[in-house]
Amino acid sequence: MATHLTFPEILTIADDIFGGNNYVKFAIAEERFADAIFEDETIWITNSEGFGIALGTKAGALTEWKRFTLPRTAQPPEGSLIRGTWDFYATALLPTHVSTTAITPLPDELIANFLALHSPDASVAPGDPEVISWVYSLDTSEEISALGAIVKWQSGELCLASIATHSAERGKGLATSLVSKMVETCAALGAQRVGLGVYAENNTAKKSVDSLSSTNSPATQGARAALATRYRAYCVPDVR
């Protein structure tokens, strides 16, 4: 029998089913929560703007949803348009007393030019309100070799975004080192966990997150980033 749940109740259920670093914790903001339904180890969540998320063994779109996210194994309604396909990772941050070096901000134009050349499909850009900080590494010529953004989602959780490596410098472990630096920065900001939503085809970013458990980062040593359900976002034909 389907049960309607409050916001705290759905967080508890999600923890029980999917673990403490689940996607629901990151994706749903309490002030935008509208309704949640739970039945047969599956949850359907709707926010105040009508956007929906379904997770679990029987995940599928509710008829009233115009935009929604489903596991990639779920069957969307006929005629649904794919808006994006991605994987979501999350890891708990271990307590650390190691302080990170302050990051000197880069000019927005420099970041924008780097992304345009080396990651034109980046999910966030300089000036986006959710960006907390840009983290980067420089080569011996003081040019950007890799960079990424720490963003705060509407839920208040921190995530990594727009991780990009210079096209000529790929395969050297720069993305892994950058992600480690970004995670340490999140820990220094007081975050208890950090997430990363990455396009399904971005193997470089996914490999860098898979390597977190083998880095020397005090924030993640011994921890492993958990791959949550692979997702796909949809909309009905008359909505974008």
pLDDT tens digits along 75-102: 999 999 999 998 888 888 876 655 556 6
Alpha-helical regions (H) of the chain: 7-18, 23-27, 108-118, 174-188, 203-210
- Please tell me the CATH superfamily of domain 108-222, with its number: Gcn5-related N-acetyltransferase (GNAT) (3.40.630.30)
CA–CA separation, 155 and 149 (whole Å): 17
Give domain limits for the chain: 3-86+230-235, 108-222
Closest to 7 in 3D by CA, of 43, 40, 34: 34
pLDDT tens digits along 187-238: 888 898 898 887 777 777 777 766 665 555 555 554 555 555 689 899 888 7
The pLDDT value recorded for residue 227 is 54
Which pairing describes strands 67-71 and 51-56: parallel, antiparallel, or unpaired?
parallel
CA–CA separation, 32 and 23 (whole Å): 16
User: CB 48: neighbour CB atoms within 10 A?
Assistant: 11
Specify the pTM: 0.85
